[in-house]
Amino acid sequence: MTWTQAQQQRLQVERQILKKYFPSFSWINPADSDNTRVEGNVRTNAGNVYTLRVYVPSDFPNSRPDMVVTSPYPLKGYRGQDLKEYGTSASMHTLDPRDGYVKICHYREWLPNLTVYLVVLKGRVWLESLEGHRRTGEPLDHFLAHMK
């Protein structure tokens, strides 16, 4: 499937914004609306490098993109626990894995004015919270509030 003209215009804007704030991110299969992903590395303040992947849904921007951590794999938490084992967890802000990777909770109610850039920025903050969890053993909701 291909993107509609309106979607192509929107994705062009998304590309420009993401390039400004996360220049290392790449668009994978950008012409295939059934398989478009955005992927890139982020380095936390603790110095660890993670790869985030955002799945751009074919009806974008009308539904919420999924975001997963693809590297390191498996993604480990406190004392080496595989975070996939949490599945959907309110306290860890995770959802059931996608393609075997830990899926990060970000926005509850998706609105078309939200952007891929904001999703990735949330991923960046989530990863910094993961560093806190790995240091202290506290769940992620110790560092990240729940949406009201």
Partner 1 sequence: MTNSQDVTRHLQRTVQEGQAPSDQQLMFDPTTGQLVVKRPSERAPSPDAVVADQITEDGFFRG
Q: Where on the chain is the footprint of partner 1 (CB under 8 A)?
A: 20-24, 42-46, 88-90, 92-95, 105-108, 118, 121-122, 124-126, 128-129, 131-132, 135, 141-148
> How is residue 109 written in tokens?
């109610």
The span from the CA of 76 to the CA of 87, in Å, is 13
CB of 51 to partner 1, least distance (A): 13
Q: Which is nearer to partner 1, 2 or 137 (CB)?
A: 137
Residue 72: is the preceding peptide bond cis (ω within 30°)?
A: yes
Determine the 3-state secondary structure of 71 from DSSP. strand
**How far apart are CB 73 and partner 1 at their closest, in Å?**
20
Residue with smaller CB distance to partner 1, 98 or 142:
142
Within 22-145, where are the H helices?
Answer: 116-136
The residue among 7 and 94 lying less far from partner 1, judged by its C-beta, is: 94
Question: How far apart, in Å, are the Cα atoms of 91 and each of 1, 36, 87, 145?
Answer: 37, 30, 11, 10
Instruction: Work out how close the CB of 46 gets to partner 1 at its nearest, in angstroms, rounded to a whole number.
Output: 4
Minimum CB–partner distance for residue 97 and partner 1 (Å): 12
The CB density around residue 134, as the number of other CB atoms within 10 Å, is 17
Nearer to partner 1, 6 or 148 (CB): 148
